[in-house]
Amino acid sequence: MKIRSNWKLGLLILAGVSLAACGGNKEEAKSTTEMQVNVTTVETTTVAPAKLPDSLLPFKKEKQLVLGELDKLERSTSAHIQLNIKDKPKAKREAKISVDPVGWHNYKMPIDDSGSGKEAWLMNRGHLVGYQFSGLDNELRNLTPMTALLNTGSLSDKDSSNQTAMLFYENNLADWINAHPNDWLDYKVTPIYEGDELIPRKVELQYAGIKSDGTLLKISFGTKQEKMDEEGVTHVILENTSPNAKIDYATGNAEPLFAKKKLETTVAQTEATTEATVNQEEQRTVYVAKKGKSDVYWYIKGNMPSNTNWDNVVEMTEAQAKSQGKRHSSRE
């Protein structure tokens, strides 16, 4: 009887331990399941991209071109584009722009005062947003009179390395688009006028990149003209000037600077040459008959009358003869 009781007691203890063990495994499994659910939830959480600056166009993943309307003086006001590499124009550009922006005048002027005689046209019909982005040529809302220096970087040619010219930034932005085929460029150009002047004194460029998820990409080409604002948008202000001309920004008329300087130099040189010639002439030897008492003088002794007493002919300078009141013989 005692042995059987101990055996039954052992079975009861073993069963209790087993139940406790099974209960512990359920709790552990439950905890593991909850942890896996929590991890899955974290991994699938998405964060919305930061809001783009208000100075950019709304991001729509499509080409946008917004042209400001002409103002009361018929001046262009702004041009703003947002595009991807696939949006660059493919049509061949027209050979010549056929419309004139307000204030348009053009003059061929000497490019410097070297006396080389090389001349070039002072002004260009400048695009705000270049053709390589906009595909526009004869659109007055996208044109303004620009000096050749501002537009192309040179007075008589093109200099794409000139960081004070539109061409430098246009080419670098085009290269940026080519290097970022999955991203977008936001680019705006604004002419800056003073009062009612027809020709802008300056032009402001503004640009930034946008990733396909709508986040901002900063763009900088490392020039001293670039200023990046606190929102990551780059601004550049360029001067609409030319060193060979005085421009009337109110009307678009202009005067050459080097032509006037060249004329002044020519007059001064002429006066100096004339003075040297006079001095040379006055030191020339002349001949005076009658032991120097004749009222006339001669440049060539052989031209004097045949009855001249040669022993009485005196030599002196023309200046000396003039100082004695003598004159050049009318017979010579």
Check pLDDT > 60 for residue 41.
no
Q: Give the integer Cα–Cα distance in Å for 130 and 135.
A: 8
Q: Are 207 and 220 in contact (CB under 8 A)?
A: no
- Per-residue pLDDT at 216: 97
Longest dimension (CA), the chain: 192
* DSSP for 16-52, written as a single string: HHHHHHHHHHHHHHHHHHHHHHHHHHHHT---PPPPP
In the structure, what pLDDT confidence band is assigned to residue 221 with cuts at 50, 70 and 90?
very high
Task: Identify which of 25, 4, 27 has the alpha carbon closest to the alpha carbon of residue 12.
Answer: 4
- Per-residue pLDDT at 67: 98
- Per-residue pLDDT at 94: 83
Check pLDDT > 90 for residue 95.
no
The CATH number of the domain covering residues in 64-261: 3.40.570.10
Residue range 44-66: average pLDDT?
A: 82
Over the chain, what is the mean pLDDT? 84
The pTM for the full model equals 0.66
Residue range 196-207: average pLDDT?
A: 98
Straight-line distance from the first to the last Cα atom of the chain, in angstroms, rounded to the nearest whole number: 178
| Residue spans per domain, the chain | 1-45, 64-261, 283-332
In the structure, what pLDDT confidence band is assigned to residue 186 with cuts at 50, 70 and 90?
very high
